[in-house]
Structure formats: structure tokens, C-alpha cells
Amino acid sequence: MANAQMFVSDLLALADIQINGNRPWDMQLRDASFFEDVLTRGNLALGEAYMAGDWECEQLDVFFCRLLASRIHDRVRPSRLIWHYLKNRILNLQSPQRSWLVGQHHYDLGNTLYQAMLDKRMVYTCGYWENAQSLEQAQIDKLELVCKKLQLKPGMRILDIGCGWGSFMKYAAENYGVECVGVTVSKEQVALGKQLCENLPIEFRLQDYRTLNESFDAIVSLGMFEHVGHKNYRRYMEVVANCLQPSGLFLLHTIGRNRDVRGTDPWIAKYIFPNGELPCLSHIDTASRDLLCAEDIHNFGADYDPTLMAWHENFERAWPDLSEHYDNTFYRMWRYYLLSCAGAFRARDLQVWQWVFSKPNLIGGYRRP
């Protein structure tokens, strides 16, 4: 155990992180017995040890930004996670039968949690902070940007794949006079979304995207592609191409990786997003090839850092009330999730891309607004 702690201490030093140091990003030990486990199970063991209270860190976001920016993870090969990576390559973890798991495990945790954490519109994707000074404005600016990129006009019929609580559909219907159909795998999202979008031309469906077979003037998908999986990328694009009118546009908003890594972080997969998988640019290009034309690719991944930090601030502020519904282990898990992800985006280990696609015959081309 002592050798493991010394090895980890030397690695952390490369990121200017100390064990039991006096800076807010330093690791404070409560129980050092988990270090050997970290060397064999990586972030899965590190996250579980944090959830158990074995270590503390005042600024987890800075801790993870330093950790990832120094690329310490390239120096450790967690041997006990080989099966985790192999099964993501071999199995279809996002099959039609398994696609409902993320809805049950994550999005159905309780609308009270998300209402407390998110902005008033309940947008659960990266905000757009170019001119914004608050979470509310960043999300409005993002929704407006998406509507402009899609060139929405009154009377158009829009499909939202992974519609959440209907934040985009509500904004588009109210501000652009369109009608929308949204599909999701979360019962809780459908129930609350119908209330929030009452009396608007919006339809919520509890439906897997693979069963869609109808025509739309434009299609949007904000933060859902992360649940599709590499074995289904082509099928996803086929569905979009089949449902999109010849003159229509498709906007895909997704988190992505800089490199081709199948599957996702094992701790995130176990505790936050089961069966999730982040694409790289080549995955999306290959899946859409010969079906759709990539008109525009916009990266504003750095904007997810302030978005996540704002969500964390809201979560911490609401915790006294939320603690009546969730235990302390959940609190530590959720804090680890939000702040570790903020650190990953700050270190530019993760990206956010908005792709705009057309059918290949769009005469005159496309201009980003």
C-alpha cells in the first residue's frame, strides 16, 4: 500500500497536486487503502473512494483539470478494466432493448433534482457563453443559435431526437411558430415536458429513435448522440436521412472526444450514464457519409466548463432541500460527476460539436448565422 501511495504521489506531482497539501486542489486523505485499487481500476476506483469519503478535495474541478491536462492517465493502464473496454468494442450496449436503461437510471432520477440544478427552461446541454453572463442567458443564446442554424420558419414541422423536457421545442414553437415532435426514453421527462409545453403544438413520445419513419422539415438532436453507441451510428444517420425532407437541415449537438476511444469512462458508465459512448469526429463523418452532407462544424466545448460550474452551484444551493430525497453518497457522487466533467472540458479533454447537415442536393450551400 505504501508503494502504491508513493507511486500515485509521484504521478500527482506531475500535475502539481499534493497528497494532504494545503491548496484547494490538493487531495486530502481519510483512508489511503484505495490507492492500489486505483492503479488497477483507474477512475472507477478513484470515484468510488470519493463517494465512500476516503478522500476529499475542495476544488475537484481544478484537481481534474490539472490531472487531465498533464495527461497522467496515459501513464497508467488499469489492468482490471480490460473487459470494460472490450465489451464496448464487441457488444452492442445500446441495442433497442438496452436503450431504455439510461432513461431509467439517469433521467428518471427525479424532476425535482433537475429543476433545482438547471436553468428555468430545463436545458440539460452545454450553454453558449460567447455573450452571456449567466446560465439563463447562455441557454437562451444556445437555443436561439440552434434555431438560426436550422433556418426555422413558421409552419415547419420539427423532430427533436432526445427532446428532454422539451426546452428546445418550447422555445422554437414560441419564437419561430413551428410545431414539434420530440422522442425520449425517459418517462419523467415526458410527464413534466407535457406540463411545461401545454397548449403548444408539441408532441412528446416515449419512443426509441430507431422506430421513427415519417417526414420532417428539420431535425435536431441536442445531447442525445452520446447514448447511441458506435455500433448504431450508421443506423442513427439512416433514420435521420429517411425522415429529413430533401430541403431540410439536421443539427447534431454532441459531446465528443479528441481521439478514437470506444466506450466511456468506467465510473461515468457505472454511476451516471450507463452504456454511454462519446464519438470522435471520424465516427460522425463515417456514419453520415453518402447519406448527409456536413455543411458546418462548430466547436464550443470550452463553454461546457461554465455550464457545469453553474449547475454545480445550483445543486449545492439546493442540497438542503434535495437531501430529503437523496443520501450523502448520492451528494458526493453527483458532486464528483459535475466537477470532474467541468475539469475535463476545461482541460480540453472533451469537446462539444454542433454539426449542421443537409441532404447532398442543397443548391446554393449553407452559411452559418
The whole-angstrom distance between residue 193's C-alpha and the CA centroid of its chain comes to 19
Q: 3-class secondary structure for 146-185?
A: HHHHCCCCCCCEEEEECCCCCHHHHHHHHHHCCEEEEEEC
Under a CB-based contact definition with an 8 Å cutoff, are residues 274 and 99 in contact?
no
Candidates 213, 171, 207; CA nearest to 189 is: 207
Beta bridge partners of 222: 253
Q: Which helix (H) or strand (E) holds 49?
A: helix 35-51
- Tell me the three cell numbers of residue 246: 430533401
CA distance 18 to 21: 5
CA distance 241 to 88: 26
Candidates 182, 285, 268, 261; CA nearest to 224 is: 182
Residue 341 catalytic?
A: yes
Candidates 220, 269, 339; CA nearest to 106 is: 269
Q: Which helix (H) or strand (E) holds 11?
A: helix 2-13
CA distance 205 to 198: 14
Q: Are strands 55-56 and 28-29 parallel, antiparallel or unpaired?
A: antiparallel
CA distance 37 to 161: 39
Q: Collapsing DSSP states into helix, strand and coil, what is residue 331?
A: helix
Name the residues annotated as catalytic. Answer: 341
